[in-house]
Amino acid sequence: MKTLLEIEGVSKSFGSVIANENISLTVKEGEILALLGENGAGKSTLVKAVFGLVKPDTGTIKINGTVMESGDTAAAIASGVGMVHQHFQLVPVMSVTENLILGDEPKRFGVVNIKQAKKEALALSEKYGLEVDPDAIIEDLPVGMAQRVEILKALRRDVKLLILDEPTAVLTPQETDELLEVLRNLAKRGVGILFITHKLREVMAVADRIAVLRGGKLMGTTTPKESSESKLAQMMVGREVVLRVEKSQAKPKEVLLSIKNLRVSDDRKLESVKDLSLEVHAGEILGIAGVEGNGQRELVEAICSMRSRLSGEVIVKGQEIPNLNPRAAHLAGVSHIPEDREKHGLVTSYSIADNLVLNRFDQAPFAKGWIRNLEEVANNGESLVEKFDIRAPDAYLSAGSLSGGNKQKVVVARELSQQLDVVVAAQPTRGVDVGSIEFIHNQLIAARDAGAAVLLVSAELDEILSLADRIAVISNGKIVAIFNSKEADRNTIGRLMAGLAS
Amino acid sequence: MDAKQGKKLDFSPILVPLLSILVALAFGGILIFIQGIDPLLAYRVLFTTAFGSFDGIAITLAKATPLILSGLAVAICLRAGLFNIGAQGQLISGALASAWAGYTFVGLPALVHIPLALIFGAFFGALVALVAAVLKAYRGVHEVITTIMLNSIVIALSDYLTSNPFKEPDQPLTRTPKIQDSAQMPDLLGLPLGFFLAIGLSITLWWIMRNTTTGFSIETIGRNKNAGWYAGISVKKTIMLSMLIGGAVAGVAGAVETLSIIGRFEPAFNAGLGFDGITVALLGRANPLGVIPAAILIGGMRASGSTVQFEAGVAPELVDLLLAMILFFVTAPLLARFFKNRKENVAMTSGWSN
């Protein structure tokens, strides 16, 4: 088969940071190459170089045998490279069709021919077996569908090499499975695929070959057959990684968090938590398993008092938490690792140190009355950066310049370094690399062992199964079953998650 | 502001404004050249008039005084993520209120009368901002819309008041009576007292933003409202507070102008000071200290505009044109992006959810 992409000896450094060091790789027609590596391993830099967004210091990139001029995105597109970015490049208020034709619109008399465009959109979606509604508005679509539009947009330009930058980071497990199927079909049609991820399971499921990057260097290439998840994890991290969480038996004590008949509505004013009651004990991790969008987000935000409750009570240590007062919830002892760290968890333009005191900047010792104690803020920053293994030269770096895993560690460090009564962790390891996942898991277990009541919400069933002591399954805003984790069985939970009676 | 920005010096906050000034001057030069005049001559006159002599500098600083304050009024709101287009209205309200306090109260010592008149100015400036603040915080009405409309309301209202109840008796002109001598702000070291007041306020606000919990709240809400809410900062209170501070400072700007320069309230005498404040704030990168050099520069250009016309024959609109271009370039994202910290990964897009 023909070689589509040849990367030869590419190096790229940003100041003193080496992002890529002498990397050579190839992708053939109809082949899926998974590019695996932790956050900050240099995956994104490498594919950006292929797409012409980054200019390598040395080395050449050949597409279809032609050496690409670096920094020339237009040439890369012209020679058949398409890229699906992690953050979609779609216009949310426009329809699927409009987004697909954007930048290359079929015209009639100088005006966009929307009929023709719709025809093209339908033909495209049929050709690749990717079903979409051409009239749907992007912002109304679920993330998986929007991503499909993004892929179609790339395919419309007759793509030979498709690059996907962490495409599954935003998807539910079901959407992920669908995406992997799509990728297989595309490969069958001869499209070469370069697939960036740090999720081992996906790599094992879909890749023809796997290239592992670590610290900007290519650690080697392998195939799913020759490798295993634990071997890959070791290659990525450089040491043995315990994929299975090790923890002692839970010793649950008194109830710390109690939720009574809670009803909450979502952003569209539809009731999404329906008369839900739940108790979490000191010294246990209660995992909430469920397909995303079944009320988990609203539940978490209501507990943390960020979202208005229609009715019901949230009681922490016997004290009722007032409605819509995040500060009161925090003072009552609720730590919250939010689902969306960029939106809620961090002020990315602030330093790490400031982010580490974001919800207690006005309390001792970080402030004395009205005056902030910047020295204490700095000391706290430095000590937490070290204690929580946040990979940054110092605590004054802006949080936005950290990798995803380290950003999450900043949030975790802030939330778990305070007095621990109730910990609400929503998707605590989403978009986080393997090494950081292990670290964050251990921190949650440490919080449990220190006597906190931990409520864990995760879309990854594996995470729930390995961390939780008790598992509550949520479906359509209700807790449909609660298991002791020892009795829990993947299939039963899966059926309950899908809304089927067990 | 952040807890220590680290030891590395970052020049981009200075580079962008400086570059926009230079680019604006270059384009202005071309336009002057088209008029058949030597641009270098025009600029030389402009700068020697504004900064070439002690008298020139004194005039420049007097012109800069209300601009520092109105720039501060816009800058503080920008810090909280609010675009206060209403500095003009707040300033007029403050100017009129301080004039009223200045001519109404008789027999007060200057030490009481001047602060009193200034407080009147601050209060009525804040009062105008309060309307926009409440609408924004509690009803989500965009502050750009409300402050623009409030500008018109305040201008109309001040016209009415100065031509009716507050009108100077037995005079054909639409203006208030002259303020009492005791309300007249004196000069200090050959400079208007208001200038020192403005500098003092800048430093105070800079310190508050940097060192207090209030400053941190404002800054946090300005940078990420959602994270502020998550962290337990009251978004409503912070919006109210920063708008009120902005309004009060703009009111003081008007009061200072009334009590030290104009001596009464006369419609149209304050025209544009609040709008120049927007340019000043953006040029000063919304930094309470940054507005000082920005205001001095613009004050200098305002001070020497007529001399340039007289000595070099350049149309008097030149200064407005230059200011408009500076504003344009300083807000042009292209320049800003060019000098963006390059270590940061340049995100090609952002999500759509925020």
For residue range A399-457, list pLDDT tens digits in order: 988 888 899 999 999 999 988 899 999 999 887 877 888 899 999 999 999 999 999 99
pLDDT at B2 over 80: no
Q: Which residues contact A408 (CB under 8 A, 6 or more apart)?
A: A337, A341, A345, A428, A429, A431, A432, A436, A440
Nearest CA distance, A284 vs chain B (angstrom): 25
The answer to whether residue A170 neighbours chain B at the CB level (below 8 Å) is: no
Confidence of residue B9 (pLDDT cuts 50, 70, 90): low
The predicted-structure confidence for B218-266, as pLDDT tens digits, reads as follows 999 999 999 999 999 999 999 999 999 999 999 999 999 999 999 999 9
Instruction: Specify the higher pLDDT residue, B347 or B19.
Output: B19
Confidence of residue A460 (pLDDT cuts 50, 70, 90): confident
Would you give the distance in Å from CA A420 to the centre of its chain? Answer: 26
Q: Which residues pair with A458 in a beta bridge?
A: A289
Cα–Cα distance, A171 to B235 (Å, whole number): 31
Give the N- to C-terminal CA distance of chain B in Å, as an integer: 23
Q: Considering only CA atoms, which of B245, B73, B251 is closest in space to residue B154?
A: B251
The answer to whether residue B216 neighbours chain A at the CB level (below 8 Å) is: yes
Confidence of residue B341 (pLDDT cuts 50, 70, 90): very low
The answer to whether residue B170 neighbours chain A at the CB level (below 8 Å) is: no
Residue A445 pLDDT: 95
Q: What are phi and psi of A279, to 5 degrees?
A: -130, 135
The B residues from 58 to 77 touching A (CB cutoff 8 Å) are: none
Which residues of chain A have a CB within 8 Å of the CB of B222? Answer: none
Q: Are B76 and B68 in contact (CB under 8 A)?
A: no
Domain annotation for chain B: domains and CATH numbers? 12-342 (1.10.3470)
Q: Considering CB atoms only, which of A347, A370, A396 is closest to B227?
A: A347
Which residues of chain A have a CB within 8 Å of the CB of B241? Answer: none
Confidence of residue B349 (pLDDT cuts 50, 70, 90): very low
- Residues recorded for chain A: 502
Which residues of chain A have a CB within 8 Å of the CB of B336? Answer: none
Q: Are A95 and A138 in contact (CB under 8 A)?
A: yes
Residue A247 pLDDT: 86
Q: Which residue has the tokens 């202005």?
A: B28
The reply to whether residue B3 touches residue A358, judged by beta carbons under 8 angstroms, is no
Q: Considering CB atoms only, which of B5, B211, B230 is closest to A372?
A: B211
The reply to whether residue A327 touches residue B232, judged by beta carbons under 8 angstroms, is yes
Least CA distance to A376: which residue of chain B? Answer: B3
Across A172-176, B49-53, B131-135, least confident range: A172-176
The predicted-structure confidence for A13-31, as pLDDT tens digits, reads as follows 877 778 899 999 999 999 9
Q: What are phi and psi of A250, to 5 degrees?
A: -75, 145
Residue B337 pLDDT: 55
Share of chain A above pLDDT 70, in %: 97
pLDDT at A300 over 50: yes
Q: Are A345 and B224 in contact (CB under 8 A)?
A: no
Q: Which residues contact A263 (CB under 8 A, 6 or more apart)?
A: A271, A273, A274, A275, A276, A309, A310, A311, A312
Helices then strands, counting H and E runs in chain A, come out as 16, 24
The answer to whether residue A43 neighbours chain B at the CB level (below 8 Å) is: no
C-alpha torsion angle, residues B246, B250, B251, B252 (rounded to 10): 110
Report CA torsion sign: A215, A221, A222, A224.
Answer: positive
Share of chain B above pLDDT 70, in %: 90
Residue to mutate among B1, B2, B204, with most A CBs inside 10 A, is B2
The reply to whether residue B224 touches residue A346, judged by beta carbons under 8 angstroms, is yes
Q: Which residue has the tokens 């009576």?
A: B177
Q: Could you tell me the strand order of the sheet in which A58-63 lies? A: A17-28, A3-14, A58-63, A66-67
pLDDT at A200 over 70: yes
Cα–Cα distance, A55 to B252 (Å, whole number): 53
Tokens found for residue A174: 């079901």
Residue A170 pLDDT: 66
Q: Is the peptide bond before A365 cis (omega within 30 degrees of 0)?
A: yes
How confident is the model over A171-190, as a mean pLDDT? 84
pLDDT at B207 over 50: yes
The predicted-structure confidence for A113-126, as pLDDT tens digits, reads as follows 888 899 988 998 88
Q: Are B307 and B45 in contact (CB under 8 A)?
A: yes
Tokens found for residue B280: 């000043």
The predicted-structure confidence for A34-76, as pLDDT tens digits, reads as follows 998 876 788 888 988 898 888 889 999 998 888 888 778 888 8
How confident is the model over B169-188, as a mean pLDDT? 90
The reply to whether residue B216 touches residue A343, judged by beta carbons under 8 angstroms, is no
Q: Considering only CA atoms, which of B17, B22, B16, B148 is closest in space to residue B90?
A: B148
Tally A–B CB contacts below 8 A. Answer: 119
Q: Which residue has the tokens 């020497």?
A: B304
Cα–Cα distance, A495 to A501 (Å, whole number): 7
Least CA distance to B224: which residue of chain A? Answer: A347
Instruction: Specify the higher pLDDT residue, A327 or A435.
Output: A327
The predicted-structure confidence for B38-88, as pLDDT tens digits, reads as follows 889 889 998 999 999 888 999 999 999 999 999 999 999 999 999 999 999
Q: What are phi and psi of A7, to 5 degrees?
A: -105, 125
Confidence of residue B328 (pLDDT cuts 50, 70, 90): confident
How confident is the model over B304-331, as a mean pLDDT? 84
Residue A218 pLDDT: 92
The reply to whether residue B230 touches residue A338, judged by beta carbons under 8 angstroms, is yes
DSSP letter string over A372-416? Answer: E-HHHHHHHHHHHHHHTT---S-TTSBGGGS-HHHHHHHHHHHHH
Residue A303 pLDDT: 96
The reply to whether residue A374 touches residue B211, judged by beta carbons under 8 angstroms, is yes
Q: Which residue has the tokens 């946040």?
A: A390
Q: How many CA atoms lie within 13 A of B69 on its CB side?
A: 34
Residue A449 pLDDT: 94
DSSP letter string over A422-478? Answer: EEEEESTTTT--HHHHHHHHHHHHHHHHTT-EEEEEES-HHHHHHH-SEEEEEETTE
DSSP letter string over B27-78? Answer: HHHHHHHHTTS-HHHHHHHHHHHHHSSHHHHHHHHHHHHHHHHHHHHHHHHH
The reply to whether residue A346 touches residue B227, judged by beta carbons under 8 angstroms, is yes
Cα–Cα distance, A71 to B25 (Å, whole number): 33
Q: What is the 8-class DSSP label of residue A221?
A: E
Q: Are A432 and A441 in contact (CB under 8 A)?
A: no
> Which amino acid is present at B153?
I
Q: Are A5 and A63 in contact (CB under 8 A)?
A: yes
pLDDT at B17 over 60: yes
Distances A330 to A258, A337, A440, B232 between C-alpha atoms, Å: 16, 12, 21, 8
Confidence of residue B353 (pLDDT cuts 50, 70, 90): very low
Which contacts qualify for A264-269: CB closer than 8 Å, 24 or more apart? A264/A295, A264/A298, A264/A299, A264/A301, A264/A302, A264/A307, A264/A308, A264/A309, A264/A310, A265/A298, A265/A308, A265/A310, A266/A295, A266/A297, A266/A298
The A residues from 6 to 25 touching B (CB cutoff 8 Å) are: 14-15, 17
Q: Considering CB atoms only, which of A85, A338, A371 is closest to B211?
A: A371
Burial A273-301 (b: 16+ CB within 10 A, else e): beebebbbbbbbbbbbbbbbebbbbbbbb
Share of chain A above pLDDT 90, in %: 48
The mean predicted confidence, pLDDT, of chain B is 88
pLDDT at B5 over 70: no
Nearest CA distance, A226 vs chain B (angstrom): 35
Question: Can you give A84-124 as a three-state secondary structure string?
Answer: ECCCCCCCCCCEHHHHHHCCCCCEECCEECHHHHHHHHHHH
The reply to whether residue B227 touches residue A398, judged by beta carbons under 8 angstroms, is no
The reply to whether residue A89 touches residue B212, judged by beta carbons under 8 angstroms, is no
Cα–Cα distance, A82 to A193 (Å, whole number): 10
The A residues from 298 to 317 touching B (CB cutoff 8 Å) are: 304, 306
The answer to whether residue A132 neighbours chain B at the CB level (below 8 Å) is: no
Q: What is the 8-class DSSP label of residue B252?
A: H
